[in-house]
Structure 1
Amino acid sequence: MFSSTFIFKAGQYDDEFHRLDQQIAEVARTTPGYLGEETWENPGAGLIQNIYYWESEEALLQLIKHPAHLEAKSKQARWLDGYRVVIAQVLREYGDGGLTMQNPPA
């Protein structure tokens, strides 16, 4: 499994931001190999994290190379006050079964 974590500080959003954000989320969720996602906020630091989980690096790369993602990346300075992305290979996942990943595939 792979994860892609998008960490950002929100700036000023507009209609174009919301359109692209929704489009990218839909593309991710319909990409074969998508496993789910989680979102976290740190209000004190003003940071937001979107974490997507993928079966393979190839599945993740489908989103990274999608035109909507490339467009948003090229325009990010209009909407964000900074960002970074962490791509990781997940070695293991475990727990007591009481928590499941948000938005698992249907």
Structure 2
Amino acid sequence: MFTTTFTFLPGDYDEAFHALDARIAQAARALPGYIGEESWDSATTGQVCNVYYWRDWASVQALMALPEHREAKALQARWLKGYQVVIAEVLRHHGDGRLAHPLGQTGG
């Protein structure tokens, strides 16, 4: 499994941002290797973090190949005050069963 973590500092959103954001989310969730996602905001820094979970590397590559993804990357400076993307392989995960998570409660 893999994660793509998109951390950004919001700027000024407009109608075009919201429309593109919705198209990206719909296209990403429709990819066969999509597992789930989670997101949070930092009260300290104002940054937003979105983590997407993928079954395999091919799924991450399919995400990066989406026309919507390339369009957002080209236009990001129009709406964001900065961003960082981290792609990581999940080696293992676990939980105590009390917190819902896209990867479930137990893992390798």
If the TM-score is normalised by the length of the shorter chain, which range does it land in?
over 0.9
Question: Which residue number corresponds to residue 47 of structure 1?
Answer: 47
User: Larger relative contact order (C-alpha < 8 A, sep ≥ 6)?
Assistant: 1
Q: Secondary structure at the match of 2:39?
A: strand
Question: Which residue number corresponds to residue 11 of structure 2?
Answer: 11
Q: Secondary structure at the match of 1:32?
A: coil
**By how many angstroms is 1:10 displaced?**
0.1
**Amino acid of the residue matched to residue 93 of structure 1?**
H
Q: TM-score, with normalisation over the residues of structure 1?
A: 0.93
Tell me, yes or no, if structure 1 residue 30 matches structure 2 residue 59: no
Alpha-carbon distance in 2 for matches of 1:79, 1:39: 18
**By how many angstroms is 1:26 displaced?**
0.7
Match runs of 1:66-105 below 5 Å: 66-101=66-101
Q: Deviations over 1:74-100 (max 9, x none)?
A: 000000000000000000010112222
Question: Which residue number corresponds to residue 59 of structure 1?
Answer: 59
**Which runs of 5 or more structure 2 residues have no equivalent in the other structure?**
none
**By how many angstroms is 1:29 displaced?**
0.8
**Which runs of 5 or more structure 1 residues have no equivalent in the other structure?**
none
% of aligned pairs identical? 50
**Amino acid of the residue matched to residue 88 of structure 2?**
A
Q: Secondary structure at the match of 2:98?
A: coil
